[in-house]
Amino acid sequence: MLTWIIIGVVVVVLLFVIVGAYNRLVALDQAANQSFADIDVQLKQRQDLIPNLVETVKGYAAHEKGTLDAVIQARSAATAASSVNDKVQAENMLTASLGRLFALSEAYPDLKANTNFQQLQLDLSDIENKLAAARRFFNNAVAEFNAVRRQFPTVLFAGLFGFGSDKPFFDVGADERAALNAAPPQVKF
């Protein structure tokens, strides 16, 4: 009789551990999904600004068709992307093409002085700051999920519950990473 009581206690404790591990994984998975949805909102706002930006630039630099087409194509790719990895690649391409578009404004003083263009730049800068914060939050949620998924005893059950692989981080990409690691500009008076 004592043996059955011990076995019963062990089974109950094991069930609590399994249920606890499952619930923790579900909560962390949901947090990561929610934080990715926050990134999606910021990306959508950024994508919505781009047609206005392109139209404003067209008025001043219509013969820069290659740059404008690259921005439009990158926006289309970013809008169509669905997975995390596809979104990361598409958004990195969009960021690079926007960088070229803003560099173009340096050659056109009238464009640079245009209040509509300046407001669009400010709006885009604000969205980029919010997007950076959302990416940090998402990457923290993914890191926590991945860590818990690998911890004992969760690692024993994660695959059974459908949590068998790590979630990917929202990486800035090689080009942006290289730009971040570049030497800072020198300011001289």
Instruction: Give yes or no for residue 188 having a pLDDT over 50.
Output: no
Note the Cα 86 to chain centre separation in Å.
11
pLDDT of residue 177: 52
CA angle centred on 171, ends 82 and 91, rounded to 5°? 50
Instruction: Give yes or no for residue 180 having a pLDDT over 60.
Output: no
Mean per-residue pLDDT of the chain: 85
pLDDT of residue 56: 84
Residue of 44, 98, 49, 94 whose CA lies nearest to 74: 94
Q: How far apart are CA 60 and CA 102, in angstroms?
A: 13
Instruction: Give yes or no for residue 114 having a pLDDT over 90.
Output: no
pLDDT of residue 179: 46
pLDDT band, residue 83 (cuts 50/70/90): confident
pLDDT band, residue 148 (cuts 50/70/90): very high
Query: Mean pLDDT across the stretch 30-49?
Result: 92
Helices (H) and strands (E) in the chain, counts: 7, 0
Tens of pLDDT, residues 62-75: 677 788 888 889 99
Residue whose pair of structure tokens reads 């008025």 in the numeric block: 59
Q: Where are the domains of the chain?
A: 50-170
Query: Mean pLDDT across the stretch 162-173?
Result: 84
Residue of 101, 24, 35, 114 whose CA lies nearest to 67: 101
Instruction: Give yes or no for residue 54 having a pLDDT over 80.
Output: yes
- Residue 110 structure tokens: 């009238």
Tens of pLDDT, residues 1-24: 889 999 999 999 999 999 999 999
H or E element in which residue 161 lies: none
Q: How far apart are CA 107 and CA 186, in angstroms?
A: 21
Top mean-pLDDT range of 56-65, 105-114, 150-159: 150-159
Q: Does residue 173 come out as left (phi exceeding 0), alpha (psi in the -120 to 50 range) or beta?
A: left
